[in-house]
Amino acid sequence: MKKSAEKSRKIPLWKNTRRLFAMVWKYTPSYVICMVLEGVLWGIANSLGIIYTQYLFDAIGNGEPFSQVAKIIVAYGIYLIFFNLLHTLYWNLYNSWIRKKLQTCLHEELFRQAVRIDPEKYDDPEFYNDFVWAMDEAAPNVEGTVEATGKIINRIVASLTLTAVLFGVDVWMAVLIFILSALRIVLSFWANRVSLRYREEMNPLWRKSDYINRLFLLPDYAKDLRVSQVVPILHKEFRENSEQAEVLIRKHERKISVVWFMINFLYALGECGLLILMLYKASVLKTIGLGSLAVAVNACWKMVWLLRDFSDRITKFHKHGIFVDKMFVFLDSVPTLREGPEEAGAFESLEFYDVSFSYPAKDGERKEVLSGVSFSFRRGEKIAVVGYNGAGKTTLTKLIMRLYDPDGGQILYNGRPLADYTFDSLRNRMGAVFQDYRIFGATLAENVAGGVYHPSMEESVRQALRQSTFDEKAEVLKDGLDTLLTREFDKNGTQLSGGEQQKVALARAFYRNSDLIILDEPSSALDPDAEYALNRSVYDYADARTVVFISHRLSTTRHADRIYMFDSGKIAEQGTHEELMALDGKYAKMFRVQAEKYQRES
Amino acid sequence: MKKRGKEKKQKLPFRKVWSNNLFLLKIIGKTAPMLLPYLTLTMIFGAAVEFFSSTYMLRFAINGLQEGKEFSVILIGILLLFGLQTVNIVISRLYYELYSPVRMERITRRMKAQVYEKAASIELARYENPEYYDSFVKAIDECSSRAWSILTTFGDLVWFLVSYTANFAFLVALDPVLLLFALVPLFAAPLKSKENKAKYRRNMELKEEGRRENYSRRTFYLADYAKEMRLTQMPELMLRRFRESGARARDIMRKSGVPVAVFWYILKILNDVVVSLGAALYCVWRTLGVGAMGYGDCLVAVNAVETVGWSLSRSVGILTEFQEHALYTENLRNFLEYEPTLQGGEDSIPPTGDLVLQGVSFRYDGAEDYALRDISLRFGAKEKIAIVGHNGAGKSTLIKLLLRLYEGEGTVTYADKEISSFSVEEYRNMFSVVLQDFHLFSFPVADNVLLRLRREGDGELVEDSLKKAGLWEKVSQFSQGTETIITREFDKDGAVLSGGEAQKLAIAHVYSKQNRFVILDEPSGALDPLAEHEMYLRMADACKDCGMIFISHRLSSAVSADRIYLMEQGRVAEVGTHEELMAQNGRYAEMFRRQAANYGEVEA
């Protein structure tokens, strides 16, 4: 397997952590306060148990009166009742609640950034992976960092108080425990590295296995699986994938077993060593009493556990840090598409001057899809862009709507470069229906409004639906405009057919009442009647507006004021239908092929 | 806000708990027969060593000191213990790293393979029913972790049984009264199971909100939505939805969290205060008040009661864990044991014959109207049939019924035999289908063409099919040729195809098969006119000897069909050849003229 060069970014752990806490503080200050408070309180409480035990054992050893000892036990019981109440309130009720709140706020920030990044980035698999990752994993890792911090505070406070207790019993014991803990921390860093590499190597296999899982799980694929013999391929791929995983598991678990053997063996060795040391002092030197011995053994177990947990938390903190860093890199990524300060006015003209554009291809090369394209149109014109698949037609739309910037040349809106205008003002002047339009899992009204819907908008929504000829269907929907257009999370939702979805997408474009409408192959899923009706409604609606039709169905485009025939990213021919037919070039050939069967009838 | 549906009762009878757990353990046993015995051994040994090192050793040491034993004797005892611990570590590592992970992978593989097999055999309708679909998703989720969880629980059970027995015996030897304290957690068992149920209910409610949140989140990062999210105000709306779901989730946490917290609190107090402190009080009273208990014994007894109480409450927890496993396994089991209503027969398929539909009607689950009404039509063995009609006229539904993806009323026969008498798989294999919303797979090009396991000498067939589909030129330019993986999800050098190219690839599949029937559902949607024209010519050529059924709303492609069915609102409205239908001057003729008018040669 070829491995790409390791990314050499050094993670500014300290800076990130500070920034992260500033962020958490902004959204949920009470979470930070409670986390610190919890850490300190629980840390002290931890040692309180030991002190109680010491007192109890000493009291027994000294033969104090029963009533005296009983009082202490009862007092400790009362303390436990209150303390656990606090514990329950915090862990069972407050903690998950406040974390959810943090999650929501954090996602809001991520979402805002997500819609800012360049659409081009979606084509870059490496960036996209990190992006998806940030959207999925940022919140758990931010929470993880906060929680780990709380636990680290807790362990520090607890071990400090315990150390005080231990030093009181025996200095050597305290020193020995510290040496052991230091060793343990070093070893666990090693273990961490090993398991990180393990995960890294397993990752591609997990992803593939997830993919196969999706194929079986998602309704989208259910039909494909049933009408072909592809299922055995999936089983084979799945099995091979899992067998590969087995090989990796064998290889890495062997290393991990060595690490864990060392860690556990050291622990056992230390424990026995301590016991021997303490017993030697108690029985041969007679420098410590029996009560202290019992307490020391208890305290030492607790201390070892605390420090073990401490080092686990530190490594966890570190692990979260890697992911938190990814989140910040994502949040800091600056879009190259910048908006200008101008408000775009009513549409007058759009001009392309020698525009070229390429998509990033593999190995940093770029694949040119448009080159030297120059054309222009003015208000009120009906323009058609036609051509074969892959001629660069759809890229035009993306450039006009400024989802991408061209590599070369200029695009002028009302005589000024697109980049001079604000995104919102520019995009509000345009309405587009894409070939691969999307219907959202929201209500019909919201889908038409393209965002938040308010009853005051009802009339305009209904009008847009009328214009896209969806009004009749809208009438029969159970909840009318409020019908949810998905069944994914609501049984009362509705699943529209392809053609119906297209009409909703069209209504969305009409709703905006834009000066310039771009229809990117909107009729590919429509039947002839519906297509006819659609064309009529677009023409009716368009009136004095400007329309750009992008299509390979020449019947849709023949009445355009001007037709641009695209071929391999260049404008091959241009003119009206009649002119182009007279030219008898590529357009004429394409038209004849399509009209052939209808012509036979005449 | 919509009212949520009535909560389903989530309570399993004991027999079910038992049999569900057994069901999982059997799968484990079949895949890795030595796993359970090995785990048991590891746990028994581990628990025994634990007992010796915590409870017994302390007593041994303290009593030894009190009795003035030689330090060397105590030393030997401790060294012996150290030896035992080392052996224990070796056994644990052998189990946890060297033995079990590989077996777990195999178990997961086996379970998933079973679920996948079932998934591919259930009716399509189940995917469209949210409730069924939900249980299906849950079932798949269980595969990867449930076996591991049940093994953990099982291991814990063994551990605590050993630890409990040892400490119990120890307590009996010390003072039987202490047992009373140790037994308290047993009475708390119903509480513990109530706590678990409250937890389960809360998690289920949260899951629902989680699904909504996930949807909103997806719209922000899926490439499909990227354009609309930039060109409309949808982000605001999705954000609002996300926020609302978050608020509802917090509400659920607050409300449903209370019973969980209460149960947890009661149990905690019972353990920490009643059992531990109670026992301490008793021991201290026996020692200091009555003087009946020895000094060393008192110290150890407090420790031991805590251990017994703790392990008993843990083992009660373990029992409820089994209940939880049963609850989750129920989904998986129901899913695996579900018998699809769509059943095939045993008859072998005749070499040739006509497909005939007699009075077929169909209604989608939950739909009010019939999608198909009383359809009767015939697809001849070598006929080219076109089905035309409006969107929503039922064309695609008809195809789904024909392919036995759904089952409707009425009869469908092939060569005069009901299609339900053939095996579903063999029956479907008669067809090559290009669906309207087909999907490509992130596998090599060749697999996407064949859509079956490869055989010797497939290379030529793949090349030939791609040539016929007009995609060879493109594929031969790929760095890996027909072995290039589609999409870049798993391979940086993977191929990204445009809509038209993808469709050509889907069509190439048809050429790779010996077909009896070819079904094309709007196959030319993303093809430009020239490509469409060539596709039809080639397809007709390749399909001389098989039946062809194509759905289209471009009437130009129907002209040369042997027979055209015009569908309207789920019925067959007109039947005949193009010439006949034009002469009939009905709906078809009207539609045709209207469409042709756009090309300007025929007057409307």
Residue A568, chain B, CB below 8 Å: the answer is no
* Mean pLDDT of the region A310-320: 81
In angstroms, what separates the C-alpha of A552 from chain B's closest C-alpha?
5
Q: Domain limits of chain B?
A: 14-196+260-337
pLDDT digit string, tens, across residues B46-60:
999 988 887 777 778
Supply the pLDDT for residue B2: 36
CATH placement of domain A349-439+496-597: 3.40.50.300
Helix (H) / strand (E) element for B53: namely none
pLDDT tens for residues A87-106? 999 988 899 999 999 999 99
Domain boundaries, chain A: 9-169+313-335, 171-287, 349-439+496-597
- To the nearest whole angstrom, how far is the Cα of A151 from the nearest Cα of chain B? 21
In one letter, which amino acid is A385? V
Which structure tokens are listed for B564? 């055209």
pLDDT in tens, B183-213: 777 777 788 778 878 888 888 888 888 888 8
Q: Mind listing the pLDDT tens digit for each residue in B444-494?
A: 999 999 888 888 888 899 999 999 888 898 898 888 889 998 887 777 788
- Residue B5 has a pLDDT of 37
CB-based contact, A417 to chain B, within 8 Å? no
- Residues in A closer than 8 angstroms to B272, CB to CB, are 80, 84
Chain-chain contact of B602 with A125 (C-beta, under 8 angstroms): no
Contacts of A221 in chain B (CB under 8 A): 439
Q: Which residue of B has its CA nearest to A454?
A: B237
Backbone region of residue B546 per phi and psi (left: phi > 0; alpha: psi in -120 to 50; beta: other values)? beta
CATH of domain B14-196+260-337: 1.20.1560.10
Of A110, A212, A451, the CB nearest to B234: A451
More confidently predicted of B471 and B225: B471
The pTM for the full model equals 0.73
Report CB contact under 8 Å: B435, A442. Answer: no
Task: Check residue A85 and give its pLDDT.
Answer: 93
Is B179:B171 a contact under the CB 8 Å cutoff? Answer: yes
Residue B526: closest CA among B438, B454, B400: B438
- Looking at residue A290, its pLDDT comes to 66
Three-class DSSP labels, B464-525:
HHHHHHCCHHHHHHCCCHHHCEECCCCCCCCECCCHHHHHHHHHHHHHCCCCCEEEEECCCC
Which of A279, A572, A124, A144 lies closest to B73 in space, CA to CA? Answer: A279
Interface of A with B in 213-232 (CB under 8 A): 213, 215-217, 219-232
What's the pLDDT tens digit per position in A191-224?
878 888 888 898 889 888 888 888 888 777 887 8
Do residue B533 and residue A593 have CB atoms under 8 angstroms apart? yes
Please determine, for residue B496, whether its predicted confidence score (pLDDT) is greater than 70.
Answer: yes
CB atoms within 10 A of CB B189: 16
**Confidence class for position B125, pLDDT limits 50, 70, 90:** confident
Q: What is the mean pLDDT of chain B?
A: 84
| pLDDT over 70 percentage in chain A | 93
Q: Is the separation of the CB atoms in B250 and B259 below 8 Å?
A: no
pLDDT classification of A362: cutoffs 50, 70, 90? low
CB contact under 8 A, A234 and B428: no
- pLDDT band at residue A390 under the 50/70/90 scheme: low
Give the pLDDT confidence score for residue B4 in this predicted structure.
Answer: 38
DSSP code per residue over B84-127: HHHHHHHHHHIIIIIIHHHHHHHHHHHHHHHHHHHHHHS-HHHH
Q: Are A442 and B237 in contact (CB under 8 A)?
A: yes
Which has the closest alpha carbon to B296: A287, A298, A290, A283?
A290
For residue A161, give both structure tokens: 């108080």
B235/A57 touch (CB, cutoff 8 Å), yes or no:
no
A121 has a chain B CB within 8 A of its CB: no
Which pLDDT score, from 0 to 100, does residue A5 have? 37
| Per-residue pLDDT tens digits for A447-490 | 898 888 889 989 999 999 988 888 888 888 888 888 888 777 77
